[in-house]
Structure 1
Amino acid sequence: MQTCKRCHVQIRGDKRVCPLCGSPVSGTPEKSPFPVLKRRIFTRLLILRIALFLMIAVLIILPVVQYFAGRPLPWVPLAMISAVIGFADVSFTLYYRNNALKTIHVQLYIGILVCLVVDKFTGWHRWSVTWAVPAIFLGLIAGTILTGLILRAALQDFVLYILLDTLLSAIQFLFLYMGWNTKPIFAVCSIMAEILFFLGILIFRWRDFKSASERYFNV
């Protein structure tokens, strides 16, 4: 153990000078009692910068590829849109990393957008509005419940996510009205499931919904 020549105090670890008076120390240094923390290789800022660089690279390179191809390439706009959506996805995930419920919802909302874009640029076969979107909204119900149970969260902590899902699921009525969805059974089941689930919460857990509304909207 090291000793300060001036203070005559014993110093643990490996020091060149006394941390109290700054005088030289003598003695045999010993292993530091504090653990050495490994430096993170990938930080949030680095991941965000990598995602931003990749998005910019795609947005610059693909138009050049299409220019030299001499003809329209249908996959180029899709890839460019996917790059922007991917960057937004990474940004949201990093920003809401401590809120699992919010992260799941943002991811699945982005998934809906990706399905619609891919369907549009691959010939508009309408599989997105017929099957993918209803399935995602049904998955949101199950995902919200399971995440709440796993995290042991109170219902008032995620009941507003269920309200948001119910409101957004109504967009499927627009798909039906515009004739995009010619097989409405799955979509109607999805909408009804969202509405019934939310009505059940209002009937059986009204206090939790009221408490969440007061906390978030001051009503």
Structure 2
Amino acid sequence: MLRCDSCHIDVEGQLRRCPLCGSPLSGTPSPDPFPDVPPVRQAFHVGGLVGTITAVLCLVALLLLAVGLVTIPEAVAIVGVLLVNYLFLRNILAHATSGLRMVERYFFVLLAMALLVYFATRAPVVSTFIVPLLCIVALLANGVLLAIFRSRFIEGYAKYLIMDIVLGGVPLLLVAFGQAAWPWPAVVSAVLALLLLAVLLVGTRGQFARESCKLFDRG
């Protein structure tokens, strides 16, 4: 057993100096109570993998631009979408506290990226099908979550429900401004948004209205 003559304490292990005062220890070292375990190295870094994939896809977009398969606005839109997606996924991996909340937010990121791609490329498939499909999936998913969790989902996710309902009408705006080639996916999205709003207003006994008022109450 090692001993510090200055502090008058016994020290286990194989230290050379007192951990309190730094004086040299006297006596015979004893076996270290903490085994010498080599540090565990993380073999798989998800964040690094996402960054690598993003960098590779950005290089592919630049190569497509170099060979003339995409235009400059299209290449900029692709790279912008990839970078936004990477930043959001990195934030999820680093700070995710609620997986469901991250999924709700990811819908807004995907919708923003789809609109960015459309306004850069003017590809009708994006405005006609991809944007409405994203809204439809989000509205259906919120409907299922509402049926499962009921009041708990409204209490914690009222603001996301409001934003999803509002964004459900975005595809119809694209149709109104002549940006979509076929109106029916947009109509389905708008109808689902209205149905979800009706369920929330009628079927939740005023809870959705109360939670919505809290969001706008600055008092």
What is the percentage of aligned positions where both structures have the same residue?
A: 18
Pair 1:199-2:206 in alignment: no
Query: Could you tell me whether the CA contact under 8 Å between 1:134 and 1:186 is conserved in 2?
Result: yes
Distance in 1 between the 2:39 and 2:91 partners?
24
Distance 1:4 1:153 in 2: 59
Instruction: Please state how far the C-alpha of 1:207 moved relative to its aligned partner.
Output: 2.3
Q: 1:85 aligns with which of 81, 85, 89?
A: 81
Tell me whether 78-87 or 29-38 shows the greater mean CA deviation. 29-38
How far apart in 2 are the matches of 1:33 and 1:145?
A: 53
User: Gaps (5+ residues) in structure 2?
Assistant: none
**Equivalent residues of 2:158, 2:211 under 8 A apart:** no
User: 2:138 is matched with which residue: 136, 140, 162?
Assistant: 140
- Within 5 Å, give how 1:64-213 maps onto structure 2: 66=66, 72-74=68-70, 77-96=73-92, 97-116=96-115, 124=123, 126-144=124-142, 153-205=152-204, 206-213=206-213
> Offset at 1:170?
1.4
TM-score (normalizing by structure 2): 0.69
Distance (Å, rounded) in 1 between the aligned partners of 2:216 and 2:143: 20
Q: CA RMSD in A?
A: 4.1
Per-residue deviation at 1:4? 2.0
The residue type paired with residue 29 of structure 2 is G
Q: Deviations over 1:51-80 (max 9, x none)?
A: 7x949x859x939x73xx6xx542554333
- Taking a change above 3 Å as real, the CA distance of residues 14 and 166 of structure 1, as seen in their structure-2 partners, is farther
Aligned residues: 207
Partner of 1:27, secondary structure, is coil
Match of 2:24 in 1: 24
CA distance 1:75–1:99, shift in 2 (3 Å): farther
In 1, are the aligned partners of 2:169 and 2:190 still within 8 Å (CA)?
A: yes
1:160 and 1:113, CA in 2 relative to 1: closer, same or farther beyond 3 A? closer
8 Å contact 1:100–1:147 — kept in the other structure? no
Report the TM-score when normalising by structure 1.
0.69
Distance 1:101 1:213, change over 3 A: farther
Q: Against the structure 1 CA distance between its residues 80 and 40, is the aligned structure 2 distance closer, same or farther, given a 3 Å change threshold?
A: farther
- Structure 1, gaps ≥5 residues long: none
State the SS of the aligned residue for 1:16.
coil
Secondary structure of the corresponding residue to residue 4 of structure 1:
strand
Instruction: Give the distance between the partners of 1:146 and 1:36, measured in 2 at CA.
Output: 47
The answer (yes or no) to whether the contact 1:156–1:212 under 8 Å persists in 2 is no
Write the distance in 1 (CA, Å) between the matches of 2:90 and 2:174.
32
Residue type of the alignment partner of 1:9:
I
Aligned residues of 2:138 and 2:164 also touching (Cα < 8 A)? yes
Deviation at 1:120, TM superposition (A): 6.7
